[in-house]
Amino acid sequence: MNRSFLIIVIPAVIVITAYILLAIYAGVQLTYYRIAGGVIGFGVAIYVVHSYLKRHTKPRANSR
């Protein structure tokens, strides 16, 4: 996996984990459909960007 995707995915996982833990600590009843929708949307966005970059990258010249 590319490092740039990890730079985005790791903080996103930390934020969603903190959101869930703080909501449980505060006694707020969460609707997990919103969280699942956000995760699915995030995954679709990563897929779209990855496929776009794969189609539109220029081949690198061999340099020595």
Q: The whole model's pTM is what?
A: 0.54
Spatial neighbors of 38 by CB under 8 A, at least 6 apart, are 16
Considering only CA atoms, which of 38, 8, 7 is closest in space to residue 20?
38
Q: Domain segments of the chain: what residues?
A: 3-56
**pLDDT tens across 39-56, in order?**
898 889 888 888 888 887
Q: What pLDDT band is residue 26 in, cutting at 50, 70 and 90?
A: very high
Q: CA–CA separation, 64 vs 53, rounded Å?
A: 25
Q: If you count DSSP H runs as helices and E runs as strands, how many of each does the chain have, helices first?
A: 2, 0
